[in-house]
Structure 1
Amino acid sequence: MEAISKNFFLYLSNNKLLDRFAKRFGAKFGADKIVGGETFTHAIPIIQQLNHDGLEVTVDHLGEFVDCEEESRDRAGECIRTIQQIASGGLRSEVSLKLTSLGLDISRDLVIENLSLILKEAEKHEITVTIDMEDSSRCGETLDIYRELKEKYPNLGTVVQSYLYRSDEDLDALNDCDPYLRLVKGAYKESPKVAFSEKKLVDDNLKHLIKKNLLNGHYTAVASHDDRIVEYTKALAEEHSIPREQFEFQMLYGMRNQMQKDLVEEGYKVRVYLPYGEDWYGYFMRRLAERPANIAFAVKGIFSK
């Protein structure tokens, strides 16, 4: 039943008609519980409160699969303005972005041009930028671009997904560039030709990747709401005397709030992934697919006044 539910919401996440409907009627149906508003200005008070509570933040201007050069440049401009507002407001926040929003599906030169402008501004303000990972068809090119720009911009991170067979080899290939990696399970619908379909195999591979990246000495963001993954990471760090400055936990805004607070009280760094923007629909559906309990957010949103 859980697999059927996941496939259903992943199917809905790619429905263009429903996406247009969602943009028209705004972040209703519970989306406002996990999205920080339609503009970065709306998100600022949330970031300030999270910072006050001892939490770090990474913000993501929602939107992907841009097929217009002008729009990709607009997206880059939005990222640059966000970085400037983070700096001027003294906010403890990084920035996450998707390469398809910067023109990956249009031209490699265009996405590198846009990303380079963002990274120059981020470097000026000592703000880290993380390239979110998308579906497997874009994984190789995303990591190639990451490697190319990481040489010039050390404040650049990216994501590796444990449900992909290739991820262990990707860690080996990235090892020499001192990567800043966010390690996740993965949220896209993938073919069994490229991805593990069994949850246990995905979880086991995530543990393997966490251990490998940490023991290689690289900064690691463990992005999971799974108690077992969190406890595994804590035990691993204790066993191998890995300093807490070498890793952090990352969780989505609006999810596992008590766990976030508990980890902060224990002295761990916790970063909240806070998306904002009008293109919230696909993100929201993937969150519902990841965890059936998230559906409660949607039901509450529909019936609340």
Structure 2
Amino acid sequence: MLADVSKNIFLHASNNKALNKAAKKWGLRFGASQVVAGDTIKSAIKKVQELNEKGLVCTLDHLGEFVSSRIEAIEATEYNVRTLEAMGSAGVNSNLSVKMTQLGLDIDRNFCVQNMCLILETAKKYNNFVRIDMEDHAHCQITLDILRELRETYDNVGTVIQSYLYRAEQDVKELKGIPLRLVKGAYQESPSVAYQEKEEVDENYMRIIEEHLLSGSYTAIASHDHRIIASVKEFVQKHNIPRNQFEFQMLYGFRTDMQLSLAKEGYTMRVYIPFGNDWFGYFMRRLAERPQNIAFALKGFFSK
């Protein structure tokens, strides 16, 4: 019960515009610096280089979402383009993740698509891949519609499917052949559209992982759950699924020992690295996911 209450508090905080605005002025506080790789492209690239040297591949995500002006969306698009250029110049092994509400999705659909095309053209120039991050349920269908439109021109783009949504299994079936990042989900969703019990979310998570793997599609399993990871290892071995058809993914700052262990075992292990000054919403969702993360944050705060 207490865990549910704290989860709701952090999820509500993640959507509070006043707190998000204030957090940009605070800088990385309350342990956030342990899970966010600084606020500049330079700091993010440095972290990627460090992780690459340890045998880990990465994905960079310039934090920010739900922008309300074209100027903000254009600035975010240009920043993502510069991030891709910096990765290309540095020669690091890293993809890019973007949120389309940061690129103007809530302002104008065609405007957002134009911004996505600019980013994908840049990524194509550097032979790189862009992941469209999945946001709340209200943006799910339009995200998938735009993905299909973009895939008609670009093969270097994929998206994310969240297992807590009832629709997840059908979406995975319809997205056969498209690289997907499969996650449990971190937004607060209604019982009308999403499973509320952990057991149900976990069961659906394994269903969509198995579905996508068996279809022959490239699958990114994004989880810190050692039981899920063990189940995936057993499943791919049983079905002779090659290791170049899937990868494990974890968040920067979490379970680093397991990340290194998976890489040493010969699995592709990708670390999702958020950066930027719009960190508050991301950090609140991480605190909401697991009660252990609260202790983690407090430890980081009091160690300053």
Normalised by the size of structure 2, how large is the TM-score?
0.98
Distance across 2 between alignment mates of 1:290 and 1:223: 14
Number of aligned positions between the proteins = 303
Cα distance, 1:179 vs structure 2: 0.5
Query: Residue type of the partner of 1:202?
Result: V
Distance across 2 between alignment mates of 1:212 and 1:172: 7
Cα distance, 1:157 vs structure 2: 1.1
Q: Residue 5 in 1 paired to residue 11 in 2?
A: no
Contact 2:173 2:212 in 1 (8 A): no
Cα distance, 1:18 vs structure 2: 1.7
Please state whether the residue corresponding to 2:106 is helix, strand or coil.
coil
Please state whether the residue corresponding to 1:267 is helix, strand or coil.
coil
Please state whether the residue corresponding to 1:287 is helix, strand or coil.
helix
Distance across 2 between alignment mates of 1:23 and 1:73: 19
Q: Residue 171 in 1 paired to residue 185 in 2?
A: no
Please state whether the residue corresponding to 2:124 is helix, strand or coil.
helix
Contact 1:94 1:128 in 2 (8 A): yes
Distance across 2 between alignment mates of 1:67 and 1:294: 30
**Which structure 1 segments of 5+ residues have no match?**
none
Aligned to 1:27: 28
Aligned to 1:46: 47
After the TM superposition, which parts of structure 1 deviate over 6 Å for at least 4 consecutive aligned residues?
A: none
Q: Give CA deviations for 1:140-198 in whole Å, capped at 9, x if unaligned.
A: 000000011012111101000000001111112222xx210000000000000000001
Query: Residue type of the partner of 2:260?
Result: K
Contact 2:173 2:211 in 1 (8 A): no
Distance across 1 between alignment mates of 2:104 and 2:211: 32
**Which structure 2 segments of 5+ residues have no match?**
none
Distance across 1 between alignment mates of 2:261 and 2:172: 30
Contact 2:132 2:159 in 1 (8 A): yes
Aligned to 1:231: 230
Distance across 2 between alignment mates of 1:52 and 1:236: 29
Q: Residue 266 in 1 paired to residue 261 in 2?
A: no
Distance across 2 between alignment mates of 1:212 and 1:261: 27
Aligned to 1:201: 200
1:17-166 aligned within 5 A: 17-166=18-167
Q: Residue 248 in 1 paired to residue 247 in 2?
A: yes
Cα distance, 1:300 vs structure 2: 1.9
Cα distance, 1:297 vs structure 2: 2.8
Please state whether the residue corresponding to 1:101 is helix, strand or coil.
coil
Q: Give CA deviations for 1:220-252 in whole Å, capped at 9, x if unaligned.
A: 000000011101111110000000000000000
Distance across 2 between alignment mates of 1:33 and 1:109: 37
Cα distance, 1:20 vs structure 2: 2.0
Cα distance, 1:57 vs structure 2: 0.3
Distance across 2 between alignment mates of 1:260 and 1:298: 20
Distance across 2 between alignment mates of 1:139 and 1:14: 17
Aligned to 2:282: 283
Cα distance, 1:4 vs structure 2: 1.5
Cα distance, 1:17 vs structure 2: 2.1
Please state whether the residue corresponding to 1:38 is helix, strand or coil.
coil
Contact 1:30 1:299 in 2 (8 A): yes
Distance across 1 between alignment mates of 2:253 and 2:296: 9
Please state whether the residue corresponding to 1:249 is helix, strand or coil.
strand
Query: Residue type of the partner of 1:114?
Result: N
Distance across 2 between alignment mates of 1:161 and 1:24: 32
Normalised by the size of structure 1, how large is the TM-score?
0.98
Comparing 212-221 with 293-302, greater Cα deviation is found at 293-302
Contact 2:248 2:269 in 1 (8 A): yes
Please state whether the residue corresponding to 1:57 is helix, strand or coil.
strand
Contact 1:58 1:271 in 2 (8 A): yes
Quote the sequence identity (%): 54
Aligned to 1:218: 217
Comparing 50-59 with 70-79, greater Cα deviation is found at 70-79
Query: Residue type of the partner of 1:137?
Result: A
Q: Give CA deviations for 1:30-76 in whole Å, capped at 9, x if unaligned.
A: 00000000111111211111000000000000000011011111111
Contact 1:12 1:285 in 2 (8 A): yes
Contact 1:31 1:297 in 2 (8 A): no
Contact 2:68 2:106 in 1 (8 A): yes
Say what the alpha-carbon RMSD is for the aligned residues: 0.8
Distance across 2 between alignment mates of 1:139 and 1:198: 21
